[in-house]
Amino acid sequence: MTLFAEIKLPFLLSDFPIVVFGIAVTDLVKYFLFASVAWLLGYVWFKRQWARRKILPTYPTGADVRREMGWSLLTVLIYGLVGASSLWMAKQGWTQMYFKIDAHGQLWFWASILLAIFIHDAYFYWTHRLMHHPRLFRWFHRIHHESVNPSPWAAYCFSPLEAAVQAGIFPLVILVMPIHPAAFGLFMFWQLAFNVLGHTGYEYHPRWLMDSWLGKFLNTPTNHIQHHEVFRGNYSLYFNIWDRLMGTNHKDYEAKFREVTGRRG
């Protein structure tokens, strides 16, 4: 942990455009690497071998992928703007972000990542569900749902308004809890990886999962792809807790999961 023992934040207002650009480019590189690997694995190298685990039988078109990529470029720019603004807030001392690892110790460093994940899960569920309100859907969430059969590139395919909502987790986390920049970076690494996996279109969990307590707790790609297919229900992100508590799981979710994972090929 000595690498992250102290992070300095030499952030002047004149540096703001540079910080925006740096965050956007960094996020774009991560997004491109994650989505590229997922695309190559599922849609090129192992397309035939994994076909039985394809949740929907069809594949995204080239036009679908180009559209998803285009909106994703705008999303990383908005993430850069919100991320730079969040760092500026931290520089002013308006948040709980801290820069010396000793301030809270190594145990909290790792615990803060887990807490950020649970905060994000709740934030995503309620904002996602809100964006499905008829008066908000066309302005916020319609672009993302143009991907009825999404590819890994749909992970960041948002309208500008939805991208701003998604990025709202950045300031929220650093306002409500102490978190080190390196811990926040690992949290962001997790959310991107999970987001891409949820849009690959393949179910990678074993069939027994749904018959265990873990299957009632964790979310699955089937859950989210079904949401893209039917538009209603299945609003969760990492965990299936909120959908179960609020009764918003699609009635055929578990049956669909068992059907996909029970296929023989």
178 contact partners, CB below 8 Å, separation of at least 6: 96, 97, 98, 103, 104, 108, 112
Query: What is the per-residue pLDDT for 231?
Result: 87
Q: Which pLDDT value is given to residue 101?
A: 85
**Given a cut of 80, is residue 11 above it in pLDDT?**
no
Q: What is the pLDDT of residues 191-217, one digit of tens each?
A: 999 999 999 999 999 999 999 988 889
* Mean pLDDT, range 37-55, rounded to an integer: 95
CA distance 8 to 154: 34
Is residue 12 predicted with pLDDT exceeding 80?
Answer: no
Give the pLDDT band (50/70/90) at residue 140: very high
Question: Region 34-56: what's the mean pLDDT?
Answer: 95
Q: Where are the domains of the chain?
A: 2-205
Instruction: Count CB neighbours of 130 within 10 A.
Output: 14
Summarize the confidence of residues 64-76 as an average pLDDT: 97
Q: What is the mean pLDDT of residues 87-112?
A: 92
Q: Residue range 109-116: average pLDDT?
A: 98
Model-level pTM? 0.92
The pLDDT score that the predictor gives to residue 5 is 46
- End-to-end CA gap in the chain: 46
Q: In this predicted structure, what is the pLDDT of residue 6?
A: 47
pLDDT digits (tens, 9 = 90+) for 160-173: 999 999 999 999 99
Check whether 122 has a pLDDT greater than 70. Answer: yes
Q: What is the mean pLDDT of residues 226-249?
A: 95
**What is the chain's percent helix, strand, coil content, to nearest 5?**
70, 5, 30
Q: Is the pLDDT of residue 13 over 70?
A: no
**Is 220's pLDDT higher than 80?**
yes
How confident is the model at residue 91, as a pLDDT? 87
> Whose CA is closest to 53, among 237, 213, 204, 216?
204
14, pLDDT greater than 50: yes
7 has a pLDDT exceeding 60: no
In the chain, % of residues over pLDDT 90: 86
SS3 51: helix
Average pLDDT over residues 92-119: 94
pLDDT computed for residue 8 by the predictor: 54
Lowest mean pLDDT among 99-103, 225-229, 251-255: 99-103
Distance of alpha carbon 161 from alpha carbon 166, whole angstroms = 9
Q: What is the pLDDT of residue 4?
A: 43
Tally the C-alpha atoms within 13 A of residue 135's C-alpha that lie toward its C-beta: 0
